[in-house]
Structure 1
Amino acid sequence: MNTTIAPTCTNEGLSVSVVVYRPDAAQFAQTIESLATACDTLRSARPGVPVHLYIVDNGGFDDVAPALDALRVQGATCTVIAGHGNVGYGRGHNLAIERIASRYHLVLNPDIDLARDALVEAFAFFDAHSDVGLLTPRIGDEQGEMQYLCRRYPTLLDLFVRGFLPSGARNFFASRLARYEMHDAINERDVVWDPPIVSGCFMLFRTDVLKKLSGFDPRYFLYFEDYDLSLRTHDVARIAYQPAVRVLHHGGGAARKGNAHIRMFVSSAFQFFNRFGWKWL
C-alpha cells in the first residue's frame, strides 16, 4: 500500500528517504521535526525549493500521520511506501530511489537529528563544487562528541575490534581504530576530500549520481550496504566530508542489538569482502 499525501517533485529540489522497521515513535518524530526545521531554513534561503519525503515502512509502523505534521506545515510533500514487508535497508531505500526525480536525494536514518542550517550548508557546498556527488556531514552523539563514521578500507580485525570488543579491550587497539576511523583527517573545521567510506545514516547525493549507481546493492539485507555504495561512488564522482553540515546520531553498534544483528553483520561483511577484497590484519 502506498499513501501519497501530495505529488512528488520533479527535476528540482530535494527528496528524502527514511526506511523504518518497528521504529521508536518518539525518536522518529524528533527526526522528522528536525528535518522540518532544516527544510524551513532551506526555504528561507531558497524560496520555492520543493522537498519530498518518502517513508518506507518495512513493518511495525502503524500511524505515520502525527509525525508528518511538522513537515507538512513547512510545505514539504510526503509519500508512504508500505505493504512490501521487511525487505532490508538498502532495498527499502531503493523503493524510493527508483521513483525520485529530484536534484538531490538524502538517504536518512530515523535516528538522525539535523541541525537547523544543515541543508542550507549542504546545498551551498554542492553549488560551489560541481564534481561532488556525495556529501557526508559532521556527525555528533548525544554527549556532544564527534562520531568518526568516515572509514578507511577495513580489515577483519578492525571490524571485530570496533564492533564486538568491550570498551576496555578496545583501548589496546586505540591507534589502530583511530587510523581506521580517520581521526588524523576528520575534524570540526576542514573539508576532507574523498574519504573511502562514509556512513549510511546520512548520505546526501546528487540524484543523477545515485541513479547512475542504481542505488544500493539489494543483496545486502542490513550492514555494509553503505560501505559498498561509498566505494562504487568513487568510480563516478567525488565524495566530501563537510563539517559545516551537522547532524546528531542516536544509533548504536550491531553487538549491542543482539544475536540477530550480529548474524546479519557477519553475513554482510562476508559479502562485502568477497566483492571488494579480503584484508585480514
Structure 2
Amino acid sequence: MHLHVLDQGSDAETCELIRSFVARGGSRSAAFLPGNIGFGRGHNRVFERVYRQTRFDYFVMVNQDVLFGHPGWVDQLVEGMADPAVAIGGPVVWQLCDRPGVLLETSPQPDVERIFSIQGSVAIVRTDAVERFGLFDAAYSPAYFEDTDLCRRYVHAGLKLAWIPIAQVHAYLGGQEKLIRRKAEALRAEHGDFHARNRALFRRRWMAETAPAVTEETLERLWPGVYRPKRPERRADGESPASS
C-alpha cells in the first residue's frame, strides 16, 4: 500500500508535520499546493500522480477530519470490493447537523440495491473503473455533489455501489472545526455559492434518477413525525373509496 498526502494551502507548521511523517520511511509521499483547488480536482491530481508511478487495484480516499474505530479498516474496505462489478464502496455516512458525525458498525444496514451514493470522505474506488469512466468531474469544483455524480455515472454504466460497514468518526471539533469553517469561507469568497450551483448542476444531469428516489417511504424515514403521507380516505363502513 502506498500513502500519498495532498496538502492544499496549509500553514508552515502543518506542512512540516506532513514532511516529518513522510520522512519516517515506508511507501509514503506528499505534495504541497499553495491554495485549495477543491475536493474533486485534488483527488484527481493524486490519482494521476500515483498512477504515473505505479499500478494499483484500488484508490482509497480519506478526508483529513476522519478517525477510525479500529485498525484494519483498509483491509475491510478491500474485502468489501470482492464483487468485480462493484466500482466504488464505503460506509454510509449519517449527517448530524452541527455535531460530530458518528457511524458505528452496528448502524442499520441499508438495502444494498437501493444505495444512491457513497460519500467521498471515506471511499474506495476500483482502478479499472476510473480507467474506463474517469474520476471526479471538475465541473463540480471546488466541492459538493462530485462524489454523488461519480456514483451515478458508474451506476449508469452498469457498475455497482457497495456499502462497507466500518466504524468512523468525523472529528468536527475544536480547532479542526474552526479550520474547516475558515477554509469553507475562503472558498465561498472565491467561488460564490458553489453548493447551490453544484446542486442545480446535479439535478439537471440526474433529475430522471433522483426524482424516483424520493419516495414516501424515504421521506417518512428521514423525517419521522414531521412528514405525513397522504392516506386513502376511509368511508363510514371502513372501506377506502378505491376498494369499492
TM-score (norm 1): 0.56
Q: Give the C-alpha shift of residue 223 in structure 1.
A: 0.8
- Greater share of strand: 1
Match of 1:238 in 2: 160
Q: 2:151 corresponds to which letter in structure 1? A: S
Q: Give the C-alpha shift of residue 122 in structure 1.
A: 1.7
Gaps of 5+ in 1: 1-49, 148-185
Instruction: Count residues in correspondence.
Output: 188
- Preserved contact between residue 92 and residue 119 of structure 2 (Cα < 8 Å): no
Runs of 4+ in 1 over 6 A off after TM superposition: 140-144
The yes-or-no answer on 1:137 pairing with 2:91 is yes
Secondary structure of 1:134's counterpart equals strand
Secondary structure of 1:53's counterpart equals strand
Q: Give the C-alpha shift of residue 138 in structure 1.
A: 5.2
Q: 2:71 corresponds to which letter in structure 1? A: R
The yes-or-no answer on 1:276 pairing with 2:198 is no
Residues 223 and 277 of structure 1: CA distance in aligned 2, closer, same or farther (over 3 Å): same
Map 1:108-257; keep pairs closer than 5 Å: 108-114=62-68, 115-126=70-81, 128-137=82-91, 139=93, 145-146=102-103, 188=107, 190=109, 192-194=111-113, 195-221=115-141, 222-234=143-155, 235-243=157-165, 245-251=166-172
Q: Give the C-alpha shift of residue 219 in structure 1.
A: 0.7
Q: Percent identity?
A: 21
Q: Give the C-alpha shift of residue 187 in structure 1.
A: 6.0
Mark the structure with the bigger radius of gyration: 2
Q: Give the C-alpha shift of residue 136 in structure 1.
A: 0.9
The yes-or-no answer on 1:66 pairing with 2:17 is yes
Gaps of 5+ in 2: 215-244
Residues 108 and 233 of structure 1: CA distance in aligned 2, closer, same or farther (over 3 Å): same
Q: Give the C-alpha shift of residue 103 in structure 1.
A: 1.2
Listed one character per residue, the Cα deviations across residues 186-236 of structure 1 (whole Å, up to 9, x for unaligned) are 963647424111211111111111232211000111111111111112124
Match of 1:265 in 2: 195
Listed one character per residue, the Cα deviations across residues 111-140 of structure 1 (whole Å, up to 9, x for unaligned) are 1113312112122232x3222221112547
- Greater share of helix: 2
CA–CA separation in structure 2 for the residues paired with 1:211 and 1:122: 20
Residues 146 and 75 of structure 1: CA distance in aligned 2, closer, same or farther (over 3 Å): same
Listed one character per residue, the Cα deviations across residues 141-199 of structure 1 (whole Å, up to 9, x for unaligned) are 8768439xxxxxxxxxxxxxxxxxxxxxxxxxxxxxxxxxxxxxx96364742411121
